[in-house]
């Protein structure tokens, strides 16, 4: 039995393939088209899934879409009618897209599938549609490790639901209750993302990273005016401050007046005001998530919690939930946003629609480390490099890995391209840029010279799982870089009186631990635990670096520059390597030294485009 899951037409289009209930491949369309958050029909992602299993579309039994567009259209119309005549301009903007494409999505999907499969629409696999939040919930529970768990989905909005609670037990997934649009924790956070000058649906993690530089000065202002939060965590927004329901912006003049000014313009200087606002909405978000979790635990009386939806990518909130929440452990879908809906939709068909059983052991998930994308052989890599006239050395792992450890120990920046590409927004040691976390200058070097992004943005530490509690205040697994924990006190550096008085962005250049490049200004870090079972090669690199330096930690950041999707192919990786100040690139067993390469011929006009994102 073969099932294709699809997420498309909103943002982060993706596709996956299940074979007899096993998730064998998944990828986002942006990695192939090089358009970040590409919302289009995921032709390339579907093609990859089929090619990887050596099958054709005609071999597939079901294709399932991750939400129900007709119900979403109903919500859109009801919202406009309830606010009329306000929002008429937004209505005129939205309707042509719906009337031309989204309202007739079933026909659109059939047409696109028939075109790519070179087959008549009449003989296509059966096309099914899942509910948006069911897709999120299924993506969190079914591939997760737990036999029985509560499931919490928090995002912007699906059809109507913005927050939903489910109980997963065996192969059953039962809805418990939900909060509906326009009351949305995800859209509240996105409103502040917009107000502080970042891009909605992609800049929320920047807001989260900015928060530790600020003070929670606006918490009471938010709670007294914007959102009414009950003791059980349920909430209602005062929509008179927001414009997203029927407008073309997230916030309005009343919101601006409350916070003393207009939204920050993108690419302008970030002030202490933005830092304080970021900290305040982060505190509010964490408090709501904690209250919801305590309520769910009390109502459902289960030991474990699974999370999905865009808010589940807030790893600071996840870390606090793990430390202070009532559950024994958490599991978060690594592609928690809309891309992961493709996986949930497919698994929902397998277990609920077709009635297939599910096995779980409370320990091991079924996401294969999220390494579900394309991979390339040494021969394919060399063929491209030879055509590009680039110089390289080919080494077996027993020589290459120790050599890379020595390269990294000398504070070189390494592009690491190995095995199957990750599914989801995080680089997890397949398409990563790697550096030495002990370096005092590595954070600013990688941000400004490699990633071309804001200097305040923190980097994540990758660490051997067996060593994690020797460096960080966490004992649980965090393989998907979705939990924040503090550096343990023994690894912290004492702050001078002068350093302790620093404020805002001034805190950035003061080392706070033995691994300053991955220690945020509040002593926290977004941790990736690396496991020999899921990525033995990456684990061996960490092991070799520890033998070289005594430190089992490396910086891991995504292999891309700002505004560009994570690299997919050897060509993508080489282009990124040659256009930045990376020192070395390794693709499988092929090592390139920047100093040995000829001058790169392509121009740098791409930087202007990325820096405007």
Q: What is the pLDDT of residues 341-364, one digit of tens each?
A: 999 999 999 999 999 999 999 999
Any domain includes 606: yes
SS3 357: coil
Domain range for 462 is 378-611
Pair of tokens at residue 23 = 């998730």
Nearest residue to 434 via CA among 425, 446, 422, 426: 446
Do β-strands 62-65 and 126-129 pair in parallel, antiparallel, or remain unpaired? parallel
Contacts of 49 (CB under 8 A, 6+ apart): 4, 15, 16, 17, 24, 25, 26, 27
Run of H or E including 285: helix 272-300
Among the listed residues 248, 420, 423, the one whose alpha carbon sits nearest the alpha carbon of residue 346: 423
Q: How many angstroms separate the CA atoms of 496 and 488, rounded?
A: 19
Separation CA 103–CA 235 (nearest Å): 31
Q: Which H helix or E strand runs over 179?
A: strand 172-180
Q: Tell me what pLDDT residue 133 has.
A: 96
pLDDT at 198: 94
Looking at 450-569, list the stretches that DSSP marks H as alpha helix, in order from N- to C-terminal side.
Answer: 468-471, 497-500, 536-549
Rounded distance, CA 214 to CA 64, Å? 44
pTM: 0.92
Domain assignment present for residue 36? The answer is no
How far apart are the C-alpha atoms of 604 and 581, rounded to whole Å?
13
Q: For the segment 504-514, what is each residue's pLDDT rounded down to a tens digit?
A: 656 666 788 99
**Residue 494 maps to a domain:** yes
The candidate with the shortest Cα–Cα distance to 425, out of 596, 201, 178, 583, is 201
- Alpha helix segments (H runs only) across 301-377: 315-324, 338-348
Would you say residue 30 lies in a domain? no
Domain CATH for 452: 3.90.870.20
Both structure tokens of 249: 């912006």
Residue 313 lies in a domain: no
Q: Computed over its alpha carbons, how large is the radius of gyration of the chain? A: 24
Low-confidence ranges of the chain (pLDDT < 70): 70-103, 455, 496-509, 602-613
Q: What confidence score (pLDDT) does residue 417 get?
A: 98
Could you say which DSSP state residue 429 is in?
S
Sorted by sequence, the CB contacts under 8 Å of residue 115 that are 6+ apart come out as none
pLDDT confidence of residue 480? 98
SS3 (DSSP) at 175: strand
User: 272 lies in a domain?
Assistant: no
Query: 528 lies in a domain?
Result: yes
Residue 598 placed within a domain? yes
Q: How many domains does the chain have?
A: 1
User: What are the tokens at 189?
Assistant: 């956070």
Token pair, residue 378, equals 């040494």
C-alpha–C-alpha distance, residues 417 and 236, integer Å: 45
Relative to beta strand 553-558, strand 460-464 is antiparallel
- Residue 490 burial by CB count (10 A; 0-12/13-18/19+): exposed, middle or buried? exposed
The candidate with the shortest Cα–Cα distance to 140, out of 166, 116, 163, 122, is: 166
2 φ/ψ sector (left φ>0, alpha ψ -120 to 50, else beta): beta
> Do strands 126-129 and 148-154 pair parallel, antiparallel, or not at all (unpaired)?
unpaired
Q: Which residues contact 57 (CB under 8 A, 6 or more apart)?
A: 4, 46, 50, 113, 116, 117, 119, 124, 125
Please report the sign of the dihedral spanned by the C-alpha atoms of residue 67, residue 427, residue 467, residue 360. positive
DSSP letters for 538-598: HHHHHHHHHHHHS--EEEEEESS-TTSPPP-SHHHHHHHHHHS---EEEETTEEEEGGGSP
Task: Note the pLDDT of residue 500.
Answer: 59
Pick from 150, 568, 67: nearest CA to 338: 67
Residue 78: the pLDDT is: 63
Of 33, 39, 157, nearest to 105 (Cα)? Answer: 39
């Amino acid at each position: 039995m073969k099932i294709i899951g699809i997420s498309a037409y909103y943002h982060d289009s993706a596709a996956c393939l299940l074979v007899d209930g096993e998730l064998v491949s998944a990828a986002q369309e942006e990695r192939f088209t090089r358009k970040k958050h590409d919302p289009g029909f995921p032709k390339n992602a579907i093609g990859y899934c089929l090619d990887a299993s050596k099958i054709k579309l005609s071999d597939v039994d079901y294709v399932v879409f991750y939400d129900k567009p007709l119900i979403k259209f109903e919500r859109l119309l009801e919202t406009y009618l309830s606010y009329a005549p306000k929002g008429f301009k937004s209505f005129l903007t939205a309707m042509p897209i719906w009337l031309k494409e989204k309202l007739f999505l079933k026909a659109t999907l059939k047409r696109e599938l028939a075109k790519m499969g070179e087959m008549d629409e009449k003989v296509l696999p059966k096309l099914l549609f899942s509910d948006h939040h069911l897709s999120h919930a299924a993506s969190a529970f079914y591939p997760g490790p737990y036999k029985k768990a509560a499931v919490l989905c928090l995002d912007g909005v699906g059809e109507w639901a913005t927050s939903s609670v489910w109980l997963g037990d065996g192969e059953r997934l039962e809805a418990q209750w939900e909060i509906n649009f326009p009351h949305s924790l995800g859209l509240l956070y996105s409103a502040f993302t917009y107000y502080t000058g970042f891009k909605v649906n992609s800049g929320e993690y920047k807001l989260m990273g900015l928060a530790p530089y600020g003070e929670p000065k606006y918490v009471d202002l938010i709670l007294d005016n914007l959102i009414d939060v009950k003791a059980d965590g349920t909430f209602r927004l005062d929509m008179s401050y927001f414009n997203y329901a029927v407008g073309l912006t997230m916030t309005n003049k009343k919101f601006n007046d409350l916070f003393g000014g207009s939204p920050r313009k993108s690419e302008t200087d970030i002030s202490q005001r933005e830092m304080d606002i970021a900290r305040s909405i982060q505190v509010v978000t964490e408090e709501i998530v904690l209250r919801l979790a305590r309520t769910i635990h009390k109502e459902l009386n289960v030991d474990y919690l699974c999370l999905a939806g865009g808010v589940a990518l807030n790893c600071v909130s996840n870390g606090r939930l793990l430390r202070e929440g009532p559950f024994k452990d958490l599991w978060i879908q690594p592609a928690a946003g809309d891309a992961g809906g493709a996986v949930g939709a497919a698994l929902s068909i397998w277990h609920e629609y077709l009635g297939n059983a599910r096995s779980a052991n409370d320990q091991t998930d079924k996401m294969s480390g999220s390494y579900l994308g394309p991979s390339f052989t040494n021969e394919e890599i060399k063929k491209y490099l030879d055509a590009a006239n680039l110089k390289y050395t080919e080494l077996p792992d027993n020589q290459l890995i120790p050599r890379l450890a020595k390269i990294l120990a000398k504070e070189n920046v390494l592009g690491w391209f190995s095995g199957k590409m990750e599914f989801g927004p995080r680089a997890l040691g397949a398409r990563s840029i790697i550096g030495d976390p002990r370096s005092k200058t590595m954070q600013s070097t990688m941000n400004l010279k490699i990633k071309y992004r804001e200097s305040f943005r923190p980097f994540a530490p990758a660490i051997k799982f067996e060593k994690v509690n020797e460096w960080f205040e966490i004992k649980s697994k965090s393989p998907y870089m979705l939990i924040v924990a503090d550096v343990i006190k023994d690894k912290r550096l004492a702050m001078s009186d002068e350093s302790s008085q620093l404020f805002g962005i001034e805190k950035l250049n003061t080392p706070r631990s033995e691994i300053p490049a991955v220690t945020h200004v509040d002593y926290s870090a977004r941790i990736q635990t690396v496991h020999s079972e899921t990525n033995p090669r990456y684990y061996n690199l960490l092991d070799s670096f520890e033998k070289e330096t005594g430190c089992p930690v490396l910086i891991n950041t995504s292999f891309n520059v700002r505004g560009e999707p994570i690299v997919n192919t050897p060509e993508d990786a080489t282009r990124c390597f040659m256009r930045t100040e990376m020192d070395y690139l390794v693709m499988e067993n092929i090592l390139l030294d920047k100093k040995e390469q000829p001058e790169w011929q392509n121009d740098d006009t791409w930087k202007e485009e990325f820096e405007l994102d």
